[in-house]
Structure formats: C-alpha cells, structure tokens
Structure 1
Amino acid sequence: MGKKINIIGAGLAGLSAGCYLEMNGYDTEIFELHTMPGGLCTSWKRGDYIFDGCIDFFYGTNPAYNFYHIWNELIDMKRLEIFHYPEYRRIEDKNGQFIRVLTNLDELEQELLEKAPEDRAVIAEFIGLARKFLTLSEMPNDKAPDSRGLKKWDQILVSEFTKKCKNPLLAKTIGYIFAPEVSVSFLMMLLVSWHQKNAGYPIGGSLKFSRLIEKRYLELGGKIHYNSRVKKILTKDNSAKGVLLENGKTYPADIVISAADGYTTIFEMLEGKYTDEKILNAYENCMPTPSFLLVSLGISRTFPEVPHRLIFPLEKTLVIDPVTSDEDIMLRVFGFDPTVAPEGKTVINCFISTGHYKYWVDLRENNREKYKQEKNRIADEVIDILEKRFGNVKSHVEVTDVCTPASVIRYTNNWQGSIMGWWYTIKNVLPGLEDFYMAGQWIDGGGLSVAIESGRNVAQIICKKDKKKFTTSHY
C-alpha cells in the first residue's frame, strides 16, 4: 500500500481526491463532520417529498465532450438519467411581460429579438459572442482559432454588459440567466453547454448524485469516517502529519488534504500559522459568494403551466432580515423530476440570497423561538405569494421547510454560510507547510465539475511529486 493520506471533508472535492488517489495506489481515509456525503451537494426528505438545496445543472452530460469522460471515472454516466431544460428560466417584469431563457441559441436569439427589438444590435453582439465560444469549443485544441479576442470577456462582468441594453427586461434577463457577478465568458460557456446538451440535471437530485461518488470511493478501497469533525491538523517541522478529531482520536498520515471550509482549515485547524498577504487579504477584505435561505414546499397538486424556473416582481417587498429584502421572487418548480414527489404532487422552492448570515446564526443561538417564528413568517409569505399568483395553493401545502444560513453552517461548516466559496481561485498549498494541500470551493470556486476537477488536480500533483504516472479507471 502506498502513502497514507488523510482527507478532510466528504464533499465532492474530497470524494474526488479520494477516488483518484485510490486509483493511483494511495491509502486514503476521509473525515466528515456530517452523517452523509456531499457537503452542499445534498437533499433531504420531509414526509413524501425530497427537498434539494444544490444541483440546478452540472457540466459534462454529453459523451461527445471531454468532461463527460471525467465524470465517467467516478459515476456510471450511462445509468444516469439527465434532464436538459428546453427553457431554463422565465423572467417577468411588473407589466407581465416576460422573456424565456431558451437553451437553444437559435431559439434564444428569436425570443430576444421578439421581446426586445429595440436592442437588435446588443442581441446580435450577445448571440454572436456565444456562437464564437461555441465554435471554439467544438474544435480540437491544436486546431482552435486564435481566442485572444475573446480573452477580454474574462474581465468583463455580466452586470457591465447589461448596461448596453435599452430594454430593462432584456437587461434583467441577461443579468439573471445566471448571476450579474460572473464574467461574460462564464455566461457564454454556460449558454454553449446548454446548446450542446452538455449541462443538465440528474434525475434523483443532489444526495443521490453524491451517493454515487461515495459508492465509487468505497469500491476503490477508501474509508469514510462520518460524525468525525477534525479539530486540528497535526504538523511537525512544518510538515502535515495527520489529524486530531474533536473526540480526541488522532490519525497519522504522510499527507493531509483539506477539502473542508477554507477559513476553518487555515485559521482554526492550522491556527493561522501558514498564511501570507494574499490569504489574509482574501479572508479579511474580500466577500465570498453570499449565503441563502431556501423555502421548500411540498404541494399536493401539479403546476403543468408553470416553467421550471420563474422570476417575477412582487407587489409588496419581501423582507427577509434587517438588511435583506427582495423585490422579485425566484421559484423553482420540480415537475421535471418524478422522484422528488409522489404522482400528482410537486415540490416548489424559493431561493433567497442573503449576505446577512450573522443575523440568522445569532438569532438561532440566542432566541430559538424567534428564529422559528421568522422562518415560519417567511414561509407563510412565500405561500401567500404563490396563492395570489397561481391560486389553489395554500390548502394544498402539505410540508414546509426553511433552510437558513445557520442551517448551512451547522451542516457544512462553510464560512459565512457561503454557497460557492470565492468567485476567483487561489493556490491549493499554504506557504511554509509541506505535505499539505487544499481542494474545493475555497480554492477553485463553486460548481460540481469545478469541485471534481479540484480534487482530481490535487491527486495529479501528488502523483507528479512522487514521480508516479497518474492513471484513472472508468465505468
């Protein structure tokens, strides 16, 4: 057996690192604070319903493209049923006008031109840019045209691009295809992936998806310790030597990988001893992606006329917490996944972004009764909104669940309850510490394929350092 490697965190990055290291002859163990795998990639059962807090789509669902085959190293992709959205999202304005975000580029172009003809030039630029990215993605790397003209879009945010729009609904739509804070390049690659049917939703949802990777890791010979929170990363002579759990048990290792929360890893498990100016600046001055509330409803009726995702303006502002309020509501209707609700029933959830994680953490710790009241208040307001919009909803709500930033922190320990870590990447090693690596959203940003690649990259680095050829196996 090869070197002993301890991995902290059984989210997708940790599971990925474990799988690839086992494929390459290393002896690995994963330590996870929760009772199940996946981290943020999870779902939970309430009564007859499954509520999902993660996967909207994942990249790499088409066997014609490379990342499908990376997934196939971890999951039997032929057995995974994928739903590809024909219409990803519908966005309305206060006058009831709407634009559909269609996933076929030709159809999307026609939709945008029909709904915002005064922005013909902007639409031509937007769709033309997507087609350039499509052409680039379809060509072999050694034959791809010069892409330097597209590089500038890495530095331009979608929020900046939308300022070109005369039509406010078009600006809103482009901004919320994904998020205004991402680069135009990111948005283009997303549109390309949808067009290629290379980004879709796995029927069964997030926990089922995580369990498939857990299964692969265990079959490869790995071992997972659940309910095992790591208190400290053991070091000697500035080299990682194992982990100490909160229960007092120690597990020695030749190498330690943290695929856990970045702040906890650096400033608690390692006591802030291995940092530099860039790391300190990130955690002191930079904002991670925000946390969220997720209101999930199990409803004993169907909504065949409602798109899978819908954003529409509210008649009255929805107050979330002392610094967060929404003028629009974002709904997700799970009629496309028959596994999350019994026949004739539906799950609808409402995602609400908030940066005020501390309010929810403090409220739960200091006034549990008010915490419950506030969760119930928000759920009731969302139900009232649905009742007014669709009718015949309130009497059919069978199950209600509200996840807050406090819930995210309790179950994943993510700093500030962040949903996707940083918007940018940082190094996966710490200055002055040998035999230690990091992986996951606090290194490479959020997203399923990013997490998998983050773990895979660490495994490759370790193999290279040990002068071993990196090898993989697949289904």
Structure 2
Amino acid sequence: MAGKSIIIIGAGLGGLATGCYGQMNGYKTKIFEMQNKPGGVCVAWQRKGYSFDYTVHNVFGVTTNPKVKNVYTQLWQELGALKDTAPYHFEEFVQVEDVDGKVLTLYTDLNKLEAHLKQLAPADSKIIEEFVYAARKIGGHDLFDAMVGGTFAKIKMLPLMSTLVKFGKINIKAYGEKFSDPFLRKAIPTIQYDIAEVPTLVPLLFLSVQEKGDAGWPIGGSNALSGNIAKRYLELGGEIEYNKKVAKIIVKNDVAVGVQLEDGSEHFADRIVSNADGYSTIYGMLGGKYVTKAIEAYYRAYPKLQSFGLEVWYGVNMEFPKEPHAIVCFLEQPITIEGIPRDRLDIEIFNFDPTMAPKGKTVVKVVLESNYDYWKNLSADPEGYKKEKQKVADQIAVALEKRFPLFQSKIEVIDVATPISVERWTALYRGCQAWPAPAEHQKEINKNGLFKTLPGLANFYGVGQWAGGTIGLSTVSLMGRNLIKDFCKLDGKQFKTA
C-alpha cells in the first residue's frame, strides 16, 4: 500500500466505521475479516426463511424524530447505516410479568410510565417521581454530544452532574429495594435486559432518549445495519477480504508494520488497527509482549456468568400482534439450565419487523446468562453438546407454551447459540462481550479504554468494544470516527465526513 495506508483487522462496526472515515480522509484502507460477511457480532443468519438476529436491541441514533440531531444521528447518516432502512420506535422498553398476573410495562412515554407505576404502587409515589424526573432531566440535555464535545459542551452538563453521579453509583437491584411494593421490588431489577448489576443510570438514559424517539430498531436488524455500512465502505473505495483470519501482527523494532494471515501471506501498512477481540489481539497476534497492569487485571476478572451468553431462537408459525416486543416472564416452576434454577425468561418477540420471518410467522428469542466453562466441557463430546442444546431449547419451549398456548406445536425451526458458538464465529475470548472493568482499574479503563493503544508499540491502534472496554453499536462505531479524526490531526489534515 502506497502512502498513508491502514490495515484494519475485523469488519465489525468499529472496523467498518474506521475504514469509511479513513477513505473519506484520503487514507488507503483494507479490512481483513475472518468471517464470510461483515458485522462481527452485529450479525444475523437465515434458517428456513426466518432471520435469527444475534445483536440488535435498541440503537442510539436510530431515530423516528427528524428534529433529533446529535453525534449518533450524524454518525449513522455519514456511514449510510440507515439507507433504505426504516427505524422502528418501541412504545415500551420491556414488560415484566409475575406469576400472579401483575404486569409492569416500562413505557417509553414518561407521562404514561409515571401514571402506570403510580397505579401499580401508590405508596411508592415519591420514589416513582424521583425515577421519572431523573429520566426527564437527562432527556433535557444532549448527553451524547457532551460525551464527545469540548469544554463548553461539558460545562453545559454541570446542572446534570448530581443526577448522573447519584444514579451512576447505584445499580438497579439496589434501586429496586427502595420500593415498598413487593412486585416492583422484584420487577425493577430486571428492566435492563434482566441484568440487575447495571447502574440505574443506564435504564434512565434509555428511557430518556426513547421518549425523544432517539433510540430504536433498524428494520432489517443487524444485517441491514452492518450491510449498509459495508456497502458505504466499498463505495468509498475501501477493500474487504473475507475468510481471511489474521494470525499475527508483524512488529519491527516495536513498530507495527503489517499482518500475517493464517495462510502465511504478509501484508504491510503504515498503521495497523485491530477491531478484533482484545485477548486474541494482545495475547495472540502480539504474543502478550505489550500489556499493562490494567489489561492483566481485566482478563483475570472475566465474569463466571455472562449476560447474553445463551440465546435460543424459535421460528414459529404464529403471530403475536398484541404482544410487547420484550417480556421478562417469571415462571411458576423454575427450569434448571446449566445446573442453575431459572425462575424467569427474558423473551424477545420480533413481531415488529416484517423482514425477520415469512408473513404470518414470527421469530421468538430467549436470552439467558451462561457459563462458558459448562459448555466448553460439553463441547469435548460433540454429540453430547448437541443434545444438551436441544434439551435446553425443549425446556424453554415447554415454559413458553404456558405463556403462549400452542407454542410448541407451531415451532418450525430452532437454533441455539452458546458461548462456544460465539467463540467459534468471532474468536471472542470465552465467547463473551466486554465486561465492566475491575474496581481498581475502572477509572483508568473508563477514561482511556483497554487497548486503544498499547505501551511501547508504535503505529498500532484498537477500536471496538474490547479496545474501549465498553459495549454498544453506536459507541464502537463512533470510536472509528474518532480514531480517524485523531489520525488527521497527527498528519496535519482537515477531518472530512464525506
């Protein structure tokens, strides 16, 4: 590659965004992707006419409101991510259902939500008002622009700081304990994808942007989103080589100069950017020669039970026109999966996107926490591993039938993704998405990321969830934009977005 050239490892959204903005700014870029399609973990696949989407839930900047303009709406416009793709806005974030028939619907209309919560638990009016007021207050500020803006943008956020600090310090499990109503104490900890440990600030942020119509689902899901950005990248003159796995980053005198593929071929560039898994990059491609104490501590602190670790899809010959798209359903009788009693199911019903299933049919997905080691041990016996996946799918189907009559008889196809599946597709360490930083390094990683650069190694950079130590399709795509902006500054160039 002549001139200022960039090799990008991985065609996930962070890598694709890096490539797009690189091409816009006169760099010659090339992406090597181990899979046969773009997207990384932002992916879906077809089974008998059904589309099983692995990733997308609610994407910031996917707006139904033309008046909403911020860094993420601008990002998606520049990347062509939503071209010919209609955004869909959910009227509810999730519905939580108890075994006695009580229902909490987390409406994205905050007035409606407040009235609903007070009807459920009049005695908790004070804490309900505090919760909804915080969401409104956050929604009154442009938090996204403040995150990437300069000093003035951050000064404008000062009136919000006490709210951010207060709700950033308490997770939704602890916040749920502030309610006196037994059902809300049980339900509130499940409202953010059934992950009780997330800060209460997270669902407040989602609710605040959803009320403005600034978070939603791109019709077509993961494949539409990643496919559009890949198309934009190619139109800008970029190159992608699929089915090309990088085995090694070539380093000379502590300078990253190229990559060696599994087939032995070598490719060179002025800068190397990894959008690949962090562990595979740092300890595999670079041999563990460039690490920090924060990196070492981070990988020692992997979660034993990982969120979104086990996903089960059903293609069913049924329609669910009146059901919410997301349900946390408590069970009368727990089911045991991976040796762990499960008293509820986190259910997603893709009844809002006509591209997900043939007419009159629907994809239903159930997501559970999962233990990598459980499935790793099983995978040593391929037949036993396959049988256990089927057993899990059957158990869940029986439970779903109690909520959706005739469900089992209407199933046409099933698929199950374990942490081993994800590890095989993407080379993610333990098949896991990025997890929270250990406490002793939290401030450092939250500020600097995990491996946006590495100590003692020149011309190497990281983008994506692992590099940033964070998650979110919007977030990792923005990292690619910011990286090229930094390159332009280094090279004395004006940053362009077209």
TM-score relative to the length of structure 2? 0.90
SS in 1 for 2:223: helix
Q: Which residue of 2 aligns with 1:300?
A: 317
The reply on whether 1:22 has 2:49 as its aligned counterpart is no
Compare 74-83 and 460-469 and name the one that shifted more: 74-83
1:461, 1:382 → 2: CA distance?
A: 48
Q: Is the 8 A contact 2:249 2:285 kept in 1?
A: yes
Q: Is the 8 A contact 1:290 1:417 kept in 2?
A: no
The reply on whether 1:8 has 2:9 as its aligned counterpart is yes
SS in 1 for 2:174: helix
Q: Which residue of 2 aligns with 1:147?
A: 160
Compare 379-388 and 261-270 and name the one that shifted more: 379-388
The reply on whether 1:260 has 2:284 as its aligned counterpart is no
Structure 2 counterpart of 1:30, one-letter code:
I
Structure 1 counterpart of 2:402, one-letter code:
K
**Offset at residue 146 of structure 1 (A):** 2.6
Structure 2 counterpart of 1:90, one-letter code:
Q
Q: Which residue of 1 aligns with 2:263?
A: 247
Q: Which residue of 1 aligns with 2:188?
A: 174
The reply on whether 1:433 has 2:457 as its aligned counterpart is yes
1:203, 1:8 → 2: CA distance?
A: 28
SS in 2 for 1:72: helix
Q: Which residue of 1 aligns with 2:150?
A: none
SS in 2 for 1:305: coil
**Offset at residue 240 of structure 1 (A):** 0.4
Q: Is the 8 A contact 1:15 1:214 kept in 2?
A: yes
Q: Which residue of 2 aligns with 1:362?
A: 377
1:350, 1:190 → 2: CA distance?
A: 21
**Offset at residue 416 of structure 1 (A):** 1.3
**Offset at residue 157 of structure 1 (A):** 2.3
Q: What is the count of residue pairs matched by the alignment?
A: 470
Residue 125 of structure 1, aligned match among 95, 109, 130: 130
The reply on whether 1:273 has 2:289 as its aligned counterpart is yes
Could you say if the C-alpha distance between residues 306 and 148 of structure 1 is closer, same or farther in structure 2, counting changes exceeding 3 Å? closer
Residue 321 of structure 1, aligned match among 338, 344, 351: 338
1:325, 1:210 → 2: CA distance?
A: 36
Q: Is the 8 A contact 2:313 2:414 kept in 1?
A: yes
**Offset at residue 286 of structure 1 (A):** 4.8
Give 1:62-461 correspondences, 5 Å limit.
62=63, 63=66, 64-66=68-70, 67-75=72-80, 77=82, 79-137=84-142, 141=153, 146-152=159-165, 153-178=167-192, 179-287=195-303, 290=307, 292-322=309-339, 324-354=340-370, 356-364=371-379, 366-422=380-436, 425=446, 426-427=449-450, 428-444=452-468, 445-461=470-486
Q: Deviations over 1:66-98 (max 9, x none)?
A: 121111000164632111111221101221211
Structure 2 counterpart of 1:381, one-letter code:
Q
**Offset at residue 168 of structure 1 (A):** 3.1
Could you say if the C-alpha distance between residues 200 and 388 of structure 1 is closer, same or farther in structure 2, counting changes exceeding 3 Å? same
Q: Deviations over 1:347-366 (max 9, x none)?
A: 11111121x112212322x1
1:39, 1:357 → 2: CA distance?
A: 20
**Offset at residue 453 of structure 1 (A):** 0.9
**Offset at residue 185 of structure 1 (A):** 2.5
Could you say if the C-alpha distance between residues 235 and 145 of structure 1 is closer, same or farther in structure 2, counting changes exceeding 3 Å? closer
2:433, 2:101 → 1: CA distance?
A: 31
Q: Is the 8 A contact 2:338 2:374 kept in 1?
A: yes
Q: Is the 8 A contact 2:135 2:207 kept in 1?
A: yes
**Offset at residue 314 of structure 1 (A):** 1.6
Could you say if the C-alpha distance between residues 108 and 420 of structure 1 is closer, same or farther in structure 2, counting changes exceeding 3 Å? farther
**Offset at residue 38 of structure 1 (A):** 0.6
Compare 302-311 and 234-243 and name the one that shifted more: 302-311
Structure 1 counterpart of 2:69, one-letter code:
Y
Q: Is the 8 A contact 1:7 1:256 kept in 2?
A: yes
Structure 2 counterpart of 1:148, one-letter code:
M
Compare 224-233 and 421-430 and name the one that shifted more: 421-430
Structure 1 counterpart of 2:328, one-letter code:
I
Structure 2 counterpart of 1:309, one-letter code:
A
2:361, 2:308 → 1: CA distance?
A: 29
Structure 1 counterpart of 2:14, one-letter code:
A
2:169, 2:489 → 1: CA distance?
A: 32
**Offset at residue 257 of structure 1 (A):** 0.5
The reply on whether 1:40 has 2:55 as its aligned counterpart is no
SS in 1 for 2:31: strand
Q: Is the 8 A contact 1:296 1:350 kept in 2?
A: yes
Could you say if the C-alpha distance between residues 325 and 38 of structure 1 is closer, same or farther in structure 2, counting changes exceeding 3 Å? farther
2:289, 2:401 → 1: CA distance?
A: 54
Could you say if the C-alpha distance between residues 286 and 411 of structure 1 is closer, same or farther in structure 2, counting changes exceeding 3 Å? closer
**Unmatched 5+ stretches in structure 2:** 147-152, 438-444
**Offset at residue 36 of structure 1 (A):** 0.7
Q: Which residue of 1 aligns with 2:54?
A: 53
**Offset at residue 183 of structure 1 (A):** 2.1
1:84, 1:299 → 2: CA distance?
A: 24
Structure 2 counterpart of 1:107, one-letter code:
K
2:299, 2:81 → 1: CA distance?
A: 38
SS in 2 for 1:350: strand
Compare 205-214 and 155-164 and name the one that shifted more: 155-164
CA root-mean-square deviation: 1.9
1:248, 1:393 → 2: CA distance?
A: 50
SS in 2 for 1:79: coil
Q: Deviations over 1:3-52 (max 9, x none)?
A: 11111111001101111111111111111111111111111100021111
1:274, 1:420 → 2: CA distance?
A: 20
2:416, 2:53 → 1: CA distance?
A: 12
Overall identity of the aligned pairs, in %: 39
Q: Deviations over 1:422-455 (max 9, x none)?
A: 4663241111101001111113211110111111
